[in-house]
Amino acid sequence: MAKEIRLQPVDVVVVGAGLGGAAFCARLSERAPRLRIACLERGGWFQRADLPAHRRDWQELMMSSWATSPNLRQRSGASARSADYAIDDSQSAFKPLMWSGMGGSTVNWAAHFPRLHPSDFRLRTQDGIAEDWPFSYFDLEPYYDLNDEAFGVAGLAGDPAYPPKKSRRMKPLPLGRLGRRAAAGFDRLGWHWWPVDAAINTVADGARGACNHCGPCQQGCANGAKSSTDITYLPRATRNGVDLRPHCVVREVVIEAGRATGVRYVDASGAEMLQPASVVVVAGNGVGTARLLLASGVASPALGRNLMFHPAAYVRGMFKDELDGPVGPIGCALYSHEFYETDPARGFKRGVHLQVTRENPLLMQAARLEPAWGGEAQRRLREEFRHSMAVLVLAEDLPEVHNRVVLADRMEGDGLPGVRVEYRLSEHSRRSLDFGLDRAEEMLRAAGAYRVVRVPLAPLAGWHLLGTARMGSDPGSSVTDAQGRCHAAPNIIVADGSLFPTVGAVNPGSTIGALALKLADDLAREAA
């Protein structure tokens, strides 16, 4: 058996270089420059020159080695750039999507960048359900602003669905024919709509280009227009002296007498390492963080539980006139929060996010027809391609203890126990989605759709992996305190979406980044 190598101690070791981990590293290294910080990432760097967008078979790659699902990538048998681990998602209504490498899931996110609303932090107080966050929107607001600055947001200030935000650094993404059609539909109904905030450059910024609407954002951005932490926070962290270590799979947070003493990991050469540290920060997303902490024996009854996605469904509308098809970022062009806040008359609490999105490439659209073959399928594809618009409905998921991440009995190739996701769609979520689908259909018809197709559930929309190490004051029902410190071992800090007590009905990236910055400040103050 190979001997474990004991490394020189560091002050802080961060596990994961995705959104939370990278933001944490950059901020902590600025606020507490004397701290020795190491960041261990199970995957490596990806090269922009290798991305599917440069290849003629890019559509096929989107569905195989560059699919958004780690399970699909693994099943494709191709050598993936993401250091994936198998996730048993057979008992989950939504299939977890992620990327394991420098940049984490910001490598293949859509960079749709909304904030939570103030009411999202106060569900217990305002609606009598779930939990309040331990702080308010306005406590987090300065960190939202910092995070916006780091990512470089394109958008339009003045949205009345939110408290005033600072002016966006760049003009919004173009609406295009699709967006203009949708805007007319919302306007006809008198509903709120607004161009999205996107972490995508609409003008060139230093070495990073402006978006040229090439399309496959979720397979990595070929010219760096889309923000991801490998080109935002991680270079800052490196400049500040953070020791970034790719291809290092952390197998255990070492805990002695109720405190973490470091982490055990295997490096790129296969050597087994012990990295002693005064503080261990875990940022591996709602699945990876729970998996590591459970495997490390963190004793916390809520750990892994209360898993929340954002229940997703959509309606596609068909139009006689030509729209843009798969041109431009998938996560645009506009959204409506007309139905975001609670209205008791709807029969459910909280609300829905309606987002107009661009269509899929031709092959993906063809493969999703049912049936996908024969003359009728081809006729439908001819009718729909470049003539359709999808309205995505995201509902607010509520925490339920039976929705969870659990360890499987078997060990995986990465030296950690296997992981299983158990998630049932609640009646509440179903009602929210159905309401949202009705509204989406109404809007599409107002915009001129002559035919609509409802997709009542979108299983491959499991991007948002949240709530499995949630913040709170009660160690029986929460995993960490308001500073992300585990009740069971206070020098383990969680710094990702696992912390969310509730999740709103919008994409969480902006909030994950802001939260990680806040937690880094909390630690820096203590270290001063």
Q: Give me the residues that bind other proteins (CB under 8 A), please.
A: 51-60, 63, 117-119, 126, 156, 158, 160-163, 174-177, 179-180, 183-184, 187, 190, 192-195, 212-216, 222-223, 324-325, 327-328, 337-338, 340-342, 362-363, 366-367, 372-375, 378-379, 381-382, 385-386
Say how far apart CA 164 and CA 399 lie, in whole Å: 29
Q: How far is CA 246 from CA 42, 50, 59, 102, 264, in A?
A: 6, 18, 28, 7, 15
Q: Nearest approach, Cβ of 57 to other proteins (angstroms)?
A: 6
Q: Nearest approach, Cβ of 216 to other proteins (angstroms)?
A: 6
Nearer to other proteins by Cβ, of 369 and 455: the residue is: 369
Q: Nearest approach, Cβ of 489 to other proteins (angstroms)?
A: 36
Alpha carbon 322 to its chain centroid, in Å, reads 32
Which residue type sits at 229? T
Q: Nearest approach, Cβ of 377 to other proteins (angstroms)?
A: 9
For β-strands 37-40 and 404-411, DSSP reports them as unpaired
Helices (H), 317-459: 362-367, 375-384, 427-446
Neighbours of 166 (CB within 10 A): 12
Tell me the backbone φ, ψ of residue 374, rounded to 5 degrees: 95, 170
Nearer to other proteins by Cβ, of 187 and 526: the residue is: 187
Nearer to other proteins by Cβ, of 176 and 288: the residue is: 176
Which residue type sits at 219? Q
Residues 6+ apart with CB under 8 A from 1: none
Q: Nearest approach, Cβ of 519 to other proteins (angstroms)?
A: 25
Nearer to other proteins by Cβ, of 271 and 372: the residue is: 372
Q: Nearest approach, Cβ of 143 to other proteins (angstroms)?
A: 19
Q: Which residues of 448-487 are buried (b: 16+ CB within 10 A; e: fewer)?
A: bbeebbebeebeebbbbbbbbbbbbeebebbbbbbbbbbb
Tell me the backbone φ, ψ of residue 184, rounded to 5 degrees: -65, -35
Q: Nearest approach, Cβ of 373 to other proteins (angstroms)?
A: 4
Q: Nearest approach, Cβ of 456 to other proteins (angstroms)?
A: 22
Say how far apart CA 30 and CA 23 lie, in whole Å: 11
Say how far apart CA 472 and CA 351 lie, in whole Å: 23
Q: Nearest approach, Cβ of 381 to other proteins (angstroms)?
A: 8
Nearer to other proteins by Cβ, of 223 and 278: the residue is: 223
User: Helices H, strands E: what count in the chain?
Assistant: 12, 17
Nearer to other proteins by Cβ, of 160 and 476: the residue is: 160
Nearer to other proteins by Cβ, of 109 and 233: the residue is: 109
Residue 358 · residue 332 · CB < 8 Å: yes
Q: Nearest approach, Cβ of 153 to other proteins (angstroms)?
A: 17
Say how far apart CA 505 and CA 289 lie, in whole Å: 22
Nearer to other proteins by Cβ, of 177 and 310: the residue is: 177
Residue 305 · residue 470 · CB < 8 Å: no
Peptide bond just before 333 cis, omega within 30 deg? yes
Sheet of 194-195: strand order equals 194-195, 334-336, 352-357, 388-395, 312-318, 451-455
User: Concatenated DSSP letters for 161-180?
Assistant: TSS--PPPSBPPPP-HHHHH
Burial (Cβ within 10 Å: 0-12, 13-18, ≥19) of residue 510: buried
Q: Nearest approach, Cβ of 369 to other proteins (angstroms)?
A: 10
Q: Nearest approach, Cβ of 180 to other proteins (angstroms)?
A: 4
Nearer to other proteins by Cβ, of 367 and 401: the residue is: 367
Nearer to other proteins by Cβ, of 39 and 198: the residue is: 198
Q: Residue 263's beta-bridge partner residues?
A: 253, 275
CA dihedral angle for residue 115, residue 426, residue 93, residue 514, rounded to 10 degrees: 20
Nearer to other proteins by Cβ, of 215 and 472: the residue is: 215
Q: Nearest approach, Cβ of 194 to other proteins (angstroms)?
A: 7
Nearer to other proteins by Cβ, of 5 and 372: the residue is: 372
Nearer to other proteins by Cβ, of 14 and 444: the residue is: 444
